[in-house]
């Protein structure tokens, strides 16, 4: 009687092989369902992280221009697929001695591309807005010793889910930098929560 009771308790306390296989199968299904959403989230984090780093680099360039009383420039380097900044001490608008490089380069990570809406590939015509326009073609903004910027313009980046963000100088007189997201329906970029007319542009992710 006691032996039979012990065997019954053992069966009740443990898992059978079939039960274990069912648990493993359920976990596998949950992983398959959640994996695409997880990858999208990771790609979004890469995009937002890169744009925040780029914003910080541009802010540092502005501060250094004021500190050094010399123009500071932020550029995109297509060869290394990265952004860099320097103080243009000789004021020739190109990186050369005795110019001072600021901080480390910011690389564009995998699953993030330097491109704008409508571009067929990376580094397309819409990746830089404003700064590369004639007559003075530059691959980024110039901050002046008084803290102002030379003109309105943007760097644009996208993730693999076709979310576009731009780091933009909105007000050259103050050198103000903003982060904006592209809205397909309106073919325009907006700050998160920006109100235009009766429309509140709340960021949503693909």
* Helix segments in the chain, DSSP class H: 2-13, 17-68
| pLDDT > 80? residue 10 | no
Residue extents of the structural domains in the chain: 2-201
Average confidence (pLDDT) over 126-141: 77
- What's this model's pTM, rounded to 2 decimal places? 0.80
Rounded Cα–Cα distance for residues 152 and 163 (Å): 22
The yes/no answer on whether domain 2-201 falls in CATH 3.55.40.10 is yes
Average confidence (pLDDT) over 115-135: 84
Q: What share of the chain is helix, strand, coil (3-state, %, to 5)?
A: 35, 30, 40
| Polymer length of the chain | 206
Residue 74: which of 65, 83, 82, 66 has the closest Cα?
A: 83
Give the tens place of pLDDT for each residue, 83-100.
Answer: 999 999 998 888 888 999
CB within 8 A of 18, min separation 6: which ones?
none
Task: State the pLDDT confidence band at 118, using cuts at 50, 70 and 90.
Answer: very high
């Amino acid at each position: 009687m006691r032996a039979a009771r012990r065997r019954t308790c053992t069966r009740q306390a443990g898992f059978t092989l079939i039960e274990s296989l069912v648990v493993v199968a359920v976990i596998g299904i949950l992983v398959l369902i959640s994996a695409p959403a997880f990858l999208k989230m990771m790609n979004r984090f890469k995009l937002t992280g890169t744009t925040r780093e780029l914003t910080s680099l541009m802010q540092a360039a502005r501060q250094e221009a004021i500190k050094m009383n010399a123009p500071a420039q932020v550029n995109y380097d297509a060869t290394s697929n990265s952004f860099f900044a320097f103080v243009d001490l000789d004021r020739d608008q190109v990186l050369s001695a005795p110019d001072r490089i600021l901080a480390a380069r910011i690389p564009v990570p995998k699953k993030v591309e330097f491109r704008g809406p409508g571009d067929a590939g990376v580094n397309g015509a819409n990746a830089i807005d404003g700064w590369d326009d004639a007559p003075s073609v530059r691959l980024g903004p110039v901050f002046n010793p008084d803290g102002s910027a030379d003109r309105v313009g943007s760097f644009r980046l996208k993730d693999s889910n076709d979310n576009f963000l731009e780091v933009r100088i909105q007000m050259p007189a103050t050198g103000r930098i903003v982060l904006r997201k592209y809205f397909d329906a309106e073919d325009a970029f907006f700050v998160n929560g920006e109100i235009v007319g009766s429309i509140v542009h709340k960021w949503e992710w693909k």
